[in-house]
Each structure stands twice: as C-alpha cells, then as structure tokens.
C-alpha cells in the first residue's frame, strides 16, 4: 500500500523476527540482550523480504576513552564498555548485491539497498510491528547532517547515498 505523508510515498511493512534469538523488532531491546545474529521478515504488500543480519563488531576501538570538559576547564575522561550495542549489517536473502544497515535500539531503523534502489526503514508511530519503507528518491532534502552548519543542509540523497553499483 503506497501512502502519502509530508516527505512523499512509502510502503507499510510488518516486521517479525524469524530467528530463535531473543528480541522483538518493534520494541527497544536492552543492549546486553542484542543477539549476534538476527533474521527479520519484512512483509510488504507485494512481497516478503528476509533480512539476514549480524551485529557489527569493531565499531569502537578497544581502550577508547571519551573526554569532556567541565565549565572550569577540567577534563574528565571516561572508559566505557561499547561492545554491547544494537547496530547490525547484512543483506536481503536472494540478492547477493544487497546491503542492509539497521539499528534495533528502538524498533528497526536504517537503510536497505537492493535491486539497485535504496530505502529508509523507520518505525510507524503507535505500533510495535509496522514500519515505513521509504524510497530514497522521495527523500529530496535531508536536514541536519553531520558537518552541516546551523542544522541546515543543501545536500540531497544523491550527495550522501551513491548508487549500489558504486558501493561494490
């Protein structure tokens, strides 16, 4: 079903967890409970997509310290355990050229690239298993990207998301 909102068209997808690992895609999972491997089914009106996902490793180097400064200029350094997190990468089963990058921190959220198209996946409001699958071409202006000044950007999706053929 294609719908219209302020940003353009999107398809409604229902998500369900196929793997036996703990967790529910529509809910926030405590970081320590994020499994190493997930298999998620996205049910679209036209077809089903099976996402094979692995939890990212090496996002932050061992021994990483975080430093911030107090108002008096004193530096405070913290060492935290960043090995437990909710960020995954993988592919769409049946499409070897596909790329999936998702967070499960608060529902499913991220990018799915397959069949030479890029989609954004984000939770719908007031549901636990329904998501918007938004084609990237309908997202013409992205505000507040890293490096932008005053929360403004003139970048388009073409600037930040090269075609999948360029990524391989």
Task: List, for residues 60-76, the tens digit of each pLDDT value.
Answer: 777 788 899 999 999 99
27 pLDDT higher than 70? no
Q: Which pLDDT belongs to residue 45? A: 82
Q: Which pLDDT belongs to residue 127? A: 85
Domain that holds residue 101: 2-167
Q: Which pLDDT belongs to residue 66? A: 87
Give the number of domains in the chain: 1
Read off the pLDDT of each residue in 105-122 and give the average, rounded to a whole number. Answer: 92
Spatial distance between the Cα atoms of 100 and 95, rounded to a whole number of angstroms: 11
- Take residue 70 and report the two structure tokens written for it: 């107090």
Coil, strand or helix at 39: strand
Neighbouring residues of 75: CB distance < 8 A, sequence distance ≥ 6? 67, 68, 69
Read off the pLDDT of each residue in 144-160 and give the average, rounded to a whole number. Answer: 49
pLDDT tier at 78, thresholds 50, 70, 90: confident
Helix (H) or strand (E) holding 122: strand 117-123
């Amino acid at each position: 079903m294609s719908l219209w909102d302020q940003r353009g068209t999107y398809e409604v997808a229902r998500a369900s967890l196929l793997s036996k690992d703990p967790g529910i895609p529509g809910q926030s999972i405590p970081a320590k409970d994020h499994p190493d491997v997930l298999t998620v089914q996205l049910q679209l009106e036209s077809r089903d997509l099976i996402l094979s996902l692995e939890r990212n490793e090496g996002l932050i180097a061992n021994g990483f310290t975080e430093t911030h400064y107090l108002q008096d200029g004193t530096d405070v350094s913290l060492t935290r355990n960043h090995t437990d997190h909710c960020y995954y990468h993988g592919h769409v089963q049946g499409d070897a050229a596909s790329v999936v990058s998702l967070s499960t921190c608060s529902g499913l959220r991220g990018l799915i690239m397959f069949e030479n198209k890029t989609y954004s996946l984000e939770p719908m409001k007031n549901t636990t298993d329904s998501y918007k699958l938004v084609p990237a071409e309908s997202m013409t202006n992205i505000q507040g990207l890293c490096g932008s000044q005053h929360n403004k950007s003139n970048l388009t999706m073409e600037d930040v998301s090269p075609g999948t053929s360029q990524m391989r």
